[in-house]
Structure 1
Amino acid sequence: MAPFTITYFAVRGRCGALRIMLSDQGQEWKEIVMNFEDWMKGDLKATCVFDQLPKFEDGDIVLYQSNAMLRHLGRKFGAYGSNDTQASLIDMMNDGVEDLRLKYLKLIYQEYDTGKEQYIKDLPNHLSKFEAVFAKNKSGFLVGNKISFADYNLFDLLLNHRVLCSSCLDSFPALKSFVDTMSARPKIKAFLDSDDYKKLPINGNGKQ
């Protein structure tokens, strides 16, 4: 029996980074796929702390909020820095990833038809912040010299952005190297090449 269970819709969405992290850490998990009609009946929704999915189960631990799930796995698998200072910096970087993800989600679900051109035009201003961090750290990771949950989160978001705009990393060599290196990690590569990954749309409304 798989030690972890993800309950979510048939979409990469908020579980993209989580699945990539579990794969890279050599973990197996069970997926409970919720369709929208069943979700709208409200039975499962009524049991969710914040009335939303994803839901993540690790034994007796039940978590909601995707970033809490990433932090949980970060602690569990040693992907939360080597000391308290690094942990705080990883938190900071992950919050920066979340800021960009919220902008991306606003575009996808609210402004895609009217705001895509402007979003792509503004994107370098956001990516440059992460480029500067990688250029300074030199390790290939956001913080310290080993992978953290924030790296998985940024990687997933950058994959989404490369679908949105295939050339978006062309002016950011450190970010491009990061994505290439992460994509080549054997367990991540195997997951990204799998039908389980490829069959899932990036977002729930078909926009990408």
Structure 2
Amino acid sequence: MPTLGYWKTKGLAQPIRLLLTYAGEEFEDVQYEQGPPPDFSRESWYSVKPKFGEIFSFPNLPYIASSSGWKKTDSGLFIALKYILSFYVTLDGDTDKEKAIVDMIIDEAMDLRLGVIKITYTSVENYEKWKPDYFKTVPTKLAQFERHLGENDWFAGEKITAADFSMYEILIQHRRMQSDSLDAFPKLRAFLDRFECLPRVKEYLSLDKVKNLPTSSKIAVPI
């Protein structure tokens, strides 16, 4: 059974958790909790990080490892998902074109996430000041995703891929920040509905431990 380690947040790990859940892979979800303000201590991870030097060449979060010997640690969502896909190749696209689209969409989803990070990892005052401008500009990007989805159910075509797990979490974050942010994008809303009805995923998302998991670090503005 693989072990996934990350902070006690959704963050970079949530698409990985969702992917493993959908794949039917039982996994140990190890979560390290950041301390309270004003220090926001990361000692829960730093105190055990040295021992992971015996397992990983470069200990970092998220990390994922299995009893069969495969292991990976990386702070990049793209690389972490690609690593998991080496074991679940059916979620990586069936053709070279689909594989390229998967890579592109995961990368674009990360760019969109960085925009959210920019306005949430700050003070509440700054967040409230910057949020209106963000939601004036982000529809242009969301429209691109809407056009790309087109008549397809999923972002790489007719079959679900890892790209959809990345897109789900970042789109949900936008809806958490502003409830009407996707109102102008019916295809994106339909995508979210389809995703949330996936086998295993629906049950997972209904769990209190998942619904109550913070989106971001304690130093960020809660969304």
What is the TM-score normalised by the length of structure 2?
A: 0.83
Measured after TM superposition, the shift of residue 73 of structure 1 is 2.5
- Which of structure 1's runs of 4+ aligned residues deviate more than 3 A? 40-52
C-alpha contact (below 8 Å) 1:7/1:54 kept by paired residues: yes
- Over residues 5-46 of structure 1, what are the superposed CA-to-partner deviations in whole Å (9 max), with x where a residue is unaligned? 111111111111111111111111102222322334474498
- Percent identity, please: 27
**CA–CA distance in 1 between the matches of 2:119 and 2:51?**
25
**CA–CA distance in 2 between the matches of 1:17 and 1:207?**
19
1:54 maps to 2:62: yes
**CA–CA distance in 2 between the matches of 1:44 and 1:149?**
31
Structure 1 unaligned spans of 5+: none
Select which of 119, 123, 142 maps to 2:138: 123
SS in 2 for 1:76: coil
Measured after TM superposition, the shift of residue 66 of structure 1 is 2.5
Measured after TM superposition, the shift of residue 49 of structure 1 is 5.7
The count of aligned residue pairs is: 204
Select which of 107, 114, 122 maps to 1:102: 114
**CA–CA distance in 2 between the matches of 1:180 and 1:20?**
15
What is the TM-score normalised by the length of structure 1?
A: 0.89
C-alpha contact (below 8 Å) 1:21/1:149 kept by paired residues: yes
Measured after TM superposition, the shift of residue 52 of structure 1 is 3.6
The residue correspondences of 1:75-86 to structure 2 (distance < 5 A) are 75-77=86-88, 78-86=90-98
Structure 2 unaligned spans of 5+: 34-41
The residue correspondences of 1:29-178 to structure 2 (distance < 5 A) are 29-35=27-33, 36-41=42-47, 43-44=49-50, 47=53, 52-58=60-66, 59-63=68-72, 64=74, 65-77=76-88, 78-110=90-122, 111-135=126-150, 138-178=151-191
Aligned AA (1:127): L
Change (3 A) 1:52 1:145: same
Change (3 A) 1:32 1:173: same
Change (3 A) 1:189 1:43: closer
Of 82-91 and 31-40, the range deviating more from structure 2? 31-40
Aligned AA (1:114): K
Aligned AA (2:109): V
**CA–CA distance in 2 between the matches of 1:142 and 1:126?**
15
Q: CA RMSD in A?
A: 2.0
Measured after TM superposition, the shift of residue 101 of structure 1 is 0.9
**CA–CA distance in 2 between the matches of 1:56 and 1:68?**
12
Change (3 A) 1:43 1:155: closer
C-alpha contact (below 8 Å) 1:73/1:79 kept by paired residues: no
